[in-house]
Amino acid sequence: DTEVTQTPKHLVMGMTNKKSLKCEQHMGHRAMYWYKQKAKKPPELMFVYSYEKLSINESVPSRFSPECPNSSLLNLHLHALQPEDSALYLCASSGQGNSPLHFGNGTRLTVT
């Protein structure tokens, strides 16, 4: 069982929709991450929050908007996505720097 919980597991949305992905962890980790993974590729880092502040944004388009309401929660707001944004979106958390990542089981997103 994963200690990082993501909802929803699957999401289908049109290009004009607005939706949000949610992530929760109760391991006391102070760093939380969003990754995007396409088939047969490794995860690609999108955002890192450290102590609830955005510390890394890997030049992600503004149609993806992260939010960290508190140390346990991480959201990813989606608006006006493109079909090529269809992918597995993975949330992860970690302790101090150089600690391993603990991934949630992901949201499989399809943009139609």
Q: Which listed residue (1, 16, 28, 42) binds other proteins by CB under 8 A?
A: 42
Is residue 68 near other proteins by the rule CB under 8 A? no
Beta bridge partners of 54: 49
Residues 75-94 that bind other proteins (CB under 8 A): 88, 90, 94
- Write down the least CB distance from residue 100 to other proteins, Å: 5
What is the secondary structure of 36-102 as a DSSP string?
Answer: EE-TTS--EEEEEEETTEEEEE-S--TTEEEEEEETTEEEEEEES--GGG-EEEEEEEESSTTPPPE
| Residue 50 in contact with other proteins, rule: CB under 8 A | yes
Q: Which residues bind other proteins (CB under 8 A)?
A: 2, 31, 33, 41-43, 45, 48, 50, 55-56, 88, 90, 94, 97-106, 108
